[in-house]
Amino acid sequence: MQTVTVLGATGSIGCNTLDVINRHPEKYRTFAITGNGQLELLMQQAQKCSPRFVVVADEARYKEACTLATEYNITAEILCGAKALEDVSCAAEIDTVMAAIVGAAGLLPTLAAVKAGKKVLLANKEALVMSGALFIDAATQSGAEILPIDSEHNAIFQCLPQGYEYGELEKAGISKILLTGSGGPFRERELSSFNAITIDEASSHPNWSMGRKITIDSATMMNKGLEFIEACWLFGASPDDIQVVVHPQSFIHSMVQYVDGSVIAQLGNPDMRTPIAYGLAYPSRIDAGVKPLDFSDMANFSFETPCFTRYPNLKLAIDACREGQAATTRLNAANEIAVASFLEGKIGFTDIAVVNEETLNKMEPVTVSSIQQILEQDTAARAAADQVIRGKFTC
């Protein structure tokens, strides 16, 4: 039986993880669940999975959480704050950590799990975007097992040859990693109307059910850009080894192309329980509760090359990947500020890319080699993005 901590339990990935775990009580036991804003949902989850600890990220909401825990008859110990998140990620009792906290907030607890040598189901792409080399080095030193949960990276992982050695694409006969993306809700929309895109329009994905921030990132294809960066670190690939392909139907989650002309693809319905179940059970497979594909219902598969005029954030991410760690850390930070500002109605949809690009242009190139330096770059980029927004979009 595996003992699991679920970081970000109230988000889309966290909810789906608990759904899979609850389907297999003989295989998995929940040690801790963590959340931030949705405290009632967190307590409802605790009622069902009976964790030993419930962690609230925001220390200011500790009393509220304790009151709710009493109302819901929760027997778990209630903890709060950043240190508690790290503690339940590296505790000796646990085997597996689902790293599903969205954004930079997930970096330190995920890194704590890696340093402790845990099996880490990585759904927090920002951890690698922000600290790729440090993250991979820590996993190598501790012996942590990193299993990708993003549907695209999980698909690539499944399509790699057994025994694939990190960074050895040529040795494995791989010519290209093909990273697919749906193109979001505005793939066919007139570019001239992008300035009029509303928050509600951008918050509706045609295929996937995700949190608001990730859904906006999908609409701008920044999500694919972050996944591009993450794929380089996960598989030891260079930017030239990866090609982004727009696949609107979202049935093919990604592919690996080999030198003999073969292409191996992983297919499935757009349901995150499939990669979650694969990560939890690897190298075995378990029922995820996902409806199997019915090929008779699938009209066609289509593929396109992404247009950088339509998706400038994708190009920014690929360029930042080529530039190095500081650039990807800054881009992630700027994007979090820009997306939050868009959702607050402070800037328009197309302004997200403007803020990201101007933030990168404002900052001098640097080399980072420690977690402290990475966090400093993250803080500086957030301040720079705020400055761009105040100076350019605030009357």
> What tens digit of pLDDT does each residue of 273-310 get?
999 999 999 999 999 999 999 988 887 889 999 999 99
379 CB neighbour count, 10 Å cutoff: 12
Q: What's the confidence (pLDDT) of residue 208?
A: 59
Residues 244, 224 contacting (CB under 8 angstroms): yes
Rounded CA separation 184/201 (Å)? 11
Question: Token digits for 291?
Answer: 């409806």
286 CB neighbour count, 10 Å cutoff: 15
211 marked ligand binding residue = yes
Own/partner pairs for 267-271, CB < 8 Å, 24+ apart? 267/293, 268/293, 269/293, 270/151, 270/207, 270/208, 271/16
Delimiting residues of CATH 3.40.50.720 domain(s) in the chain: 2-148
Strands 252-258 vs 242-246: parallel, antiparallel or unpaired: unpaired
Q: Say how many residues make up the chain.
A: 395
Close Cβ partners of 21 (under 8 Å, ≥ 6 residues apart) = 4, 6, 28, 30, 49, 280
227 marked ligand binding residue = yes
Q: What's the confidence (pLDDT) of residue 210?
A: 65
182 marked ligand binding residue = yes
Residues 217, 226 contacting (CB under 8 angstroms): yes
200 marked ligand binding residue = no
Rounded CA separation 148/196 (Å)? 36
Q: What's the confidence (pLDDT) of residue 165?
A: 93
What CATH architecture does domain 2-148 belong to? Answer: 3-Layer(aba) Sandwich (3.40)
323 marked ligand binding residue = no
12 marked ligand binding residue = yes
223 marked ligand binding residue = yes
Delimiting residues of CATH 1.10.1740.10 domain(s) in the chain: 324-393
250 marked ligand binding residue = no
Q: What's the confidence (pLDDT) of residue 211?
A: 72
Q: Which residues of the chain have pLDDT under 50?
A: 395
Mean pLDDT of the chain: 94
Q: What's the confidence (pLDDT) of residue 297?
A: 82
What CATH architecture does domain 324-393 belong to? Answer: Orthogonal Bundle (1.10)
218 marked ligand binding residue = yes
124 marked ligand binding residue = yes
224 marked ligand binding residue = yes
284 marked ligand binding residue = no
Residues 17, 29 contacting (CB under 8 angstroms): no
205 marked ligand binding residue = yes
